[in-house]
Each structure stands twice: as C-alpha cells, then as structure tokens.
Amino acid sequence: MFAGLAHERSVDGRVYTSPEVFSAERERIFARCWSYLGHLSEIPAAGDFQRATVAGRPLIFIRHNDGQPRALLNRCAHRGAEIAGQTCGNAQRLRCPYHGWTYATDGALTQIPRPAGYSGADSPKTGDPSWALPSYPVESYRDFAFVRLQCDRSAAPLEEFLGEAREALDLMVERSPAGKLSVAGGRLAIVLRCNWKVYLENLHDGMHPPQVHASSIGAARNASRNGKPPLEASWVASNGQPLSAFGQLAVRCHPGGHSDMSGFRNEAGGEDSGYRAALDAAWGARRAEQALTRNLHNACFYPTASAHPQYMQMRRLTPLAADRTLVESWTLRAHGAPESHFLRNIRYANTIHSPSSLVKPDDAEAYRRVQQGLAGVSGHVSQHRADPGEAPGSAGTALSEEYVRAQYRAWRDYMGTRR
C-alpha cells in the first residue's frame, strides 16, 4: 500500500502528510522499535513515575518496589480511564480516579471497590493477570531506558538495536568519573508543527544553518564586535560558518536509521587537572581523552531519540499527528565533573534548544514551512544531495543527504515496502 511512496533518493510528500501513513507508522515503526522512555535517574525511588506516549499509547514509566523500571499502559482495566494524570510524581499505588480500581506499581490489580458486585468466571478479580495493566519490556543501556511495545521473538535486544550509535551514550557516561549521570535542570519541550521525519531529517543538515539562522548569526556577530564574545554568542555565530566548514563534519550512518555527526565546535581543553585525573583513573587515558574530545553532535536513535553528547543533552521525540511532533530535551549532570561543566551545558540548552532561544524558533519555522508546503499536494521531495564522489551507502558529510536516505531505508524496512 505504501510501496510507491519512498524511493532511494526521493519520497512522495504524502509520507509527511497522510493520516493513513501516520497511523501505519505508529504500528509498524513506533510499536516495533525500541522507543526512548527516559533516564533511570528520573525515577530514582520506588513509585517514582513519568508519563510517556509511545505509538499513541499512554504509558507510565515507573520504578517498582523490586527496584526495576516498568512501562505500564496508563489505561484502567475497568472503563479505560487514564490513571496517572500528572506528568510525573510518586505513587505507591496507582488508583484510578474514576471508580477507584487500584493497581500495584508492577500493574497488578490489587483492589476493586465493592468486590461482591462481581461474580462469574470472567469477572474482574484482584490478582488476575488478565485484569492487570499491560506491562511492556523495558531495557536500559547505561541507564537510558527504552521500551518496546510489540515483542516478537526475532526482536533484537536494545544493545543490538542501538548498534554503534551507542557510542553517543558511552561518551556521556564516560564524562563522569563515577560513571553516573542524572537528569537535572528541568525539561524543555516544544510542539513542532511538522511531521516527525522533518525533525529527524534536519539533525545533520549542514546546508541550512547559514540561511535559516541568519538573523541570530547577525545578532551574535554584533554582540561579538567589541571584545571577547560571550559564550552564547560564539555558539550562535558558529551556525554562520562557510558551507565548506560544514563539509568537514563527518556523518556516520548506522543500520536501522541511526546516525551521528562529529566535528562541530570543539570546546575540549581547559578541564581542571583533578577532573582529568579522575577520568583517567576511571576509564583509562584513551577513553577519558575520547570522552572529552570526540565532540559528537546530534546523534540520532531512529526514530524516537536524539542525543547531543558534547553538551550532555538527550531528546525524546513523540509524534502526535501527521503534522505535530513533541520534542522534549533534558540536560544530564555528570557526577564527579566540575559544576562549571553542568552550568555550561544548561546555558547551551537555553541558548540553542529552548523554544524561546534565538535558534530553535528558526528551525521550527523552517519545519512548519515544509509541512505547509507539502500539505495536500502530492509530488516528490528530493533527497539527492551527495558529497562529490560519495559511494552509495557510505558515510558522508553534513552536506550530503545520505543520512536521510539511510533513514528511509530503515523506514521502508519497517513499513514492509523495501524491495
């Protein structure tokens, strides 16, 4: 049904606009892959929970009293009411606000008001697994937790699913001498008025910054005119590098649509010697050096997450409709690193990723225009751009659309349209 929509170097615009494509993507892609739920530090104690939505299903990401995280369907087994209403919180029991059915933090049904009202073999009863909240497999890699809604036997475990893209998560953890990260500094959220793929297709797009971000680049250059620019201005101004500089950024495509890009801004150096010595002791000199200097920028865990290891950012993508996508981002604190590192990363998040920053609204407007331009009109969208001499399927630079083509190879595999 969707076979004619996505080709090797172009797609039909309806992949971004069709409600039928969107609902098929929910079942064939988002319900089948490992979707990013959150970092385990967000639910440190038993009963701590966060809500998430995966493939349209409302979930409760909760720590059970055995210490393990669970992903429960946030849907009462009685009449289907949403049980957890808050974005996050702590609950030793999950009590439905409608008629009071109560569940344990592993989903087991523990209490039904007026149980004498239920009789017969098929009636709801406490302790019966068929009346528990459905619980989906959660796996974590270095405390980054993912869920999978459909688990057929052939499904790859999380580590295999992430493949070499795992490096982005390794680099973040290895900035902590204790090997421990925690989410800190709050959450940034923006609802983009575009299809989820439009966002992922921008992650390594080195052609757009000088143009899309021209106004903030100009402001940053003005701010830098008299003397040493503030750090924020130098971050924003780096979007104004010549295209030849973006052509130096190395983009790697991994199986499954994952990818990463390195080389954008290098702020390593100047770490205090105690921190460096602690990293060396924890990881060995080579890995410590890698953690500090391999500046991965916008790693993509197709299709639900993106990390920015250089500034310790993790982002979660939630498609809401064919033309609406929620993007949330968090900053991770590396335990044992100087406080100045954390503060720098928070400043970065506020300068670049915040919906009220000088930069993010430019991207959001470009995405909105793509969506608007495609609305209701079929026709091809080009993904032809390649580096000179680029071999098909090879790693490219930020001026090539190879990573977009790789995303569509994964898309066709999931959607069952690859020929």
Judged by the rule CB under 6 A, the positions of this chain that interact with ligand FES are 76, 78-79, 81, 96, 98-101
Stretch touching Fe ion by CB under 5 A, among 11-19, 30-38, 58-66, 356-364? 356-364
The single residue listed with the structure tokens 């892609």 is: 29
251 touches which of Fe ion, ligand FES, none (CB within 5 to 8 A by kind)? none
384 touches which of Fe ion, ligand FES, none (CB within 5 to 8 A by kind)? none
Length of the chain in terms of residues written: 419
CB 241 within 8 A of CB 272: no
d(CA 28, CA 43): 29
Q: To the nearest whole angstrom, how small is the minimum distance from the Cβ of residue 135 to ligand FES?
A: 17
Q: To the nearest whole angstrom, how small is the minimum distance from the Cβ of residue 325 to ligand FES?
A: 30
The single residue listed with the structure tokens 């302790």 is: 127
**363 in contact with Fe ion (CB under 5 A):** yes
363 touches which of Fe ion, ligand FES, none (CB within 5 to 8 A by kind)? Fe ion
Nearer to ligand FES, 100 or 284 (CB): 100
d(CA 268, CA 417): 44
CB 118 within 8 A of CB 99: no
Q: Determine which helix (DSSP H) or strand (DSSP E) holds 410, and give its type and residue range.
A: helix 402-415
Q: To the nearest whole angstrom, how small is the minimum distance from the Cβ of residue 48 to ligand FES?
A: 22
In a 3-state reduction of DSSP, which class is residue 82?
coil
CB 285 within 8 A of CB 166: no
Q: To the nearest whole angstrom, how small is the minimum distance from the Cβ of residue 356 to Fe ion?
A: 16
The single residue listed with the structure tokens 């849907």 is: 75
Nearer to ligand FES, 111 or 222 (CB): 111
Q: To the nearest whole angstrom, how small is the minimum distance from the Cβ of residue 78 to ligand FES?
A: 3
Q: To the nearest whole angstrom, how small is the minimum distance from the Cβ of residue 370 to Fe ion?
A: 13
Helices (H) and strands (E) in the chain, counts: 14, 21
Nearer to ligand FES, 76 or 322 (CB): 76
Stretch touching Fe ion by CB under 5 A, among 74-82, 277-285, 361-369, 370-378? 361-369
CA proximity to 231, closest of 75, 115, 351, 369:
351
314 touches which of Fe ion, ligand FES, none (CB within 5 to 8 A by kind)? none
The single residue listed with the structure tokens 């390649």 is: 386
Nearer to ligand FES, 11 or 133 (CB): 133
**Count of chain residues binding Fe ion (CB under 5 A):** 1
CB 104 within 8 A of CB 68: no
79 touches which of ligand FES, Fe ion, none (CB within 5 to 8 A by kind)? ligand FES
Nearer to ligand FES, 76 or 251 (CB): 76
Q: To the nearest whole angstrom, how small is the minimum distance from the Cβ of residue 223 to Fe ion?
A: 19
Tokens describing residue 39: 């970092």
d(CA 247, CA 245): 5
Q: What are the residues whose beta carbons fall under 8 Å from the beta carbon of 219, sequence distance 6 or more?
A: 236, 358
Nearer to ligand FES, 86 or 248 (CB): 86
Stretch touching Fe ion by CB under 5 A, among 94-102, 277-285, 355-363, 375-383? 355-363
37 touches which of Fe ion, ligand FES, none (CB within 5 to 8 A by kind)? none
Nearer to ligand FES, 76 or 169 (CB): 76
d(CA 311, CA 330): 10
Crossing angle for the helix pair 273-283 and 285-293, nearest 10 degrees? 120
CA proximity to 10, closest of 408, 370, 403, 380:
380
CB 149 within 8 A of CB 57: yes
**402 in contact with Fe ion (CB under 5 A):** no
Nearer to ligand FES, 8 or 128 (CB): 128
Nearer to ligand FES, 80 or 186 (CB): 80
Q: To the nearest whole angstrom, how small is the minimum distance from the Cβ of residue 113 to ligand FES?
A: 8
**143 in contact with Fe ion (CB under 5 A):** no
State how far the alpha carbon of 261 is from the alpha carbons of 52, 249, 255, 373, in Å: 27, 7, 15, 28
Q: To the nearest whole angstrom, how small is the minimum distance from the Cβ of residue 209 to Fe ion?
A: 5
183 touches which of ligand FES, Fe ion, none (CB within 5 to 8 A by kind)? none
Nearer to ligand FES, 96 or 181 (CB): 96
Q: Is 45 exposed, middle or buried (0-12, 13-18, 19+ CB in 10 A)?
A: exposed
Q: To the nearest whole angstrom, how small is the minimum distance from the Cβ of residue 112 to ligand FES?
A: 8
Interaction site with Fe ion (CB under 5 A): 363
